[in-house]
A and B are shown apart, each in its own frame.
Chain A
Amino acid sequence: MKRAAFSQPLMPVALLLPQLVIIAVFFYWPAWEAIYSSFFLQDPFGFGSNFVGADNYTRLAKSSEYAKVAGFTVFFTVIVTVLSLGTALLLAVKADKVIRGAKTYRTLLMWVYAIAPPVAGFLGALLFDQNIGPITDLFAFFGYNLQIGLNYNDTAFAMIVVSVWKQIPVNFIFLLSGLQSIPVAVREAALIDNKSGTRRFWDITFPLLAPTAFFLLITNITYALFDTFGVIDIMVKGNPASNPITLVYKVYTDGFRGGDLGGSSAQSVVLMVLVLALTIMQFRMLERRIHYT
């Protein structure tokens, strides 16, 4: 490969500088601050802080409340990922088979993707509104009083539904394009080799979709863990104590509501390690098995 040469040695540095500054200011500095303050206990009134070593971490490990939130987070993440990927896969497979009016149909399904996430979250919240929400009305019709923000299970249900609903279009687009990148001739060869459509899907289509599906799996886990903050915030209605929340939301409530910056920092360091592990896993898997050519 040809190497591009700069006549002045500072030129490449100057070109990289804006990007490096952004990364440093918005990623490395806050990350460092979080790690640093996780070893201190802050005065609730902001007058100072004491070094407490790993106390914040040991407190986390012993806290039954933290364990409960972590448990819910795992449950929430698995459910949201499975449902949003599964539903999107079903829709994509069906949309891929449509022959007449395929373009219109696909555009309609993708439109949701064009709605800004906060708007989508707000729409989702409206659907579950205590007074005007159609889903609340539907449950009332069947004799169940859906109480978002009051009943733990009801809130969890609404959070999952809205989070899944928001994520389906993204998954749908990726899966559909993944399906369409499978060569027609390969599918036709399978058509001759295997009579059963279901078996063809699991033997041929799904393995060829695996690179896309794996990428989406990681993205969806990350989404459920971190990007559902807005949905949760709307659903718990400022009353997190009796409601289900995820680890990210707990970082926020403990730090900004509870004033426990040290404990909250320790929690975010734990999450940082989690993200790091996910990223490493993604790179490893992408490098290794899932690509065929």
Chain B
Amino acid sequence: MATVNVTDISKTYPNGAQAVHPASFDIADGELIVLVGPSGCGKSTLLRMVAGLEDITTGDLHIGARLVNNLDPAERDIAMVFQNYALYPHMSVAKNMAYGLKNRGASKEQIAAKVSEAAEMLSLTALLDRRPSQLSGGQRQRVAMGRAIVRDPALFLFDEPLSNLDAKLRHQMRVEIRNLQRRLNVTAMYVTHDQVEAMTMADRIFVLNAGRIEQIGTPSEIYRKPASTFVASFMGAPPMNLLLAQSVGGQVQIGGVALGLSCADGDVTVGIRPEQVAVTQGGTIPFKLTLVEELGASRLLHGTVAGQDFVVNAPNDDAALADDLMLDFAPDALHLFDAQTGQRL
């Protein structure tokens, strides 16, 4: 249980590639932070720098009150859950969990108590004598969690812990991890490329792109006020529609239709979430339908607006759809971005 304070940390590899550009942030005690972004955005590198598995090129990293830049991973009071579980194949479940405690000089009684407590919490009690090879994926994931829990660390680190599980188990473990973290009230950093995991688990989300933190915010802030077109298109499924529009005489227009928004004249990118578009007879924006995807509760209408790709998430009312429809956007559901930089206006 601790705060994490990061000041201007960056990572440059010996070959000159900059994996993480200088980043600063603070994590509050007991907070769960999710680092999310596409592959190669530097989210895992950042996590591994906090763990001590990668060197920090510049900047300061404090866990609790301690500067830990030059401490070994074992001295940072952290516990990490890996994507491939990384269990010790030659040790039983109990020994896997006990190993970290044993090396920190805990007594046999303490270890036994901690292990049985964690096993209880994760319903692993019946499996304590098994080897990892005799466990299913979900059980291995639990053991990896148990190994982290018994240590009572200041900080939990999760490196895509659920990406090897099937969809159903992933959903279940997501809830379980979140509950455990709340119950134990341990500060946690969680890396994922899955934006659903990010939205559902995080207290705050860090969206990373090309080694930079694009935006830090609560899930609802990230969803409602994306800081850039990158965040807007990365978070949300299906992603936000981004249309190239023109501002003429201060009024933003698409295909000659004014949207009821104003900004300085010139090119501008307009964003709108597929679920905030209404298909109505009285709409003002023409939409050419090309494909319908059934999702059950709703359906996705793929097509074009003013010649640009556009998706509408419409309620599934089984009505037959014509090829040419009219759409209506509420002006307050629209997002404006700079057409060049992609930054929110």
Contacts and interface: CB of A to CB of B under 8 A. Distances in A.
B53 A191 contact: yes
Interface string A175-194: 00000000101101111111
A194 B103 contact: yes
Interface residues of A, number: 21
A207 B91 CA distance: 10
A193 B133 CA distance: 21
A196 interface: yes
A186 B87 CA distance: 6
Interface size grouping (class) on chain B: 20 to 34
B75 A292 contact: no
Determine chain A's interface SS by DSSP, over half rule.
helix
Contacts of B83: 185
Interface string A186-213: 1011111111100100011001101000
B237 interface: no
A131 interface: no
A195 B100 CA distance: 10
Given A199-B103, A204-B88, A192 B131 contact: no
A19 interface: no
B86 interface: yes
Residue among A183, A185, A190, A208 with max Cβ neighbours from chain B (10 Å): A185
A189 B88 contact: yes
B223 interface: no
Contacts of B183: none
A208 B73 contact: no
Contacts of B51: 188, 192
Contacts of B78: 192
B90 A183 contact: no
Nearest to B133: A293
Interface of A: 100, 183, 185-186, 188-196, 199, 203-204, 207-208, 210, 292-293
10 contacts: A186-B88, A186-B89, A188-B51, A189-B87, A192-B74, A192-B100, A194-B74, A196-B103, A204-B88, A207-B90
Given A185-B83, A203-B99, A292-B133, 12 more contacts: A186-B88, A189-B88, A189-B147, A190-B88, A191-B53, A193-B100, A193-B103, A194-B103, A195-B72, A195-B74, A195-B75, A199-B103
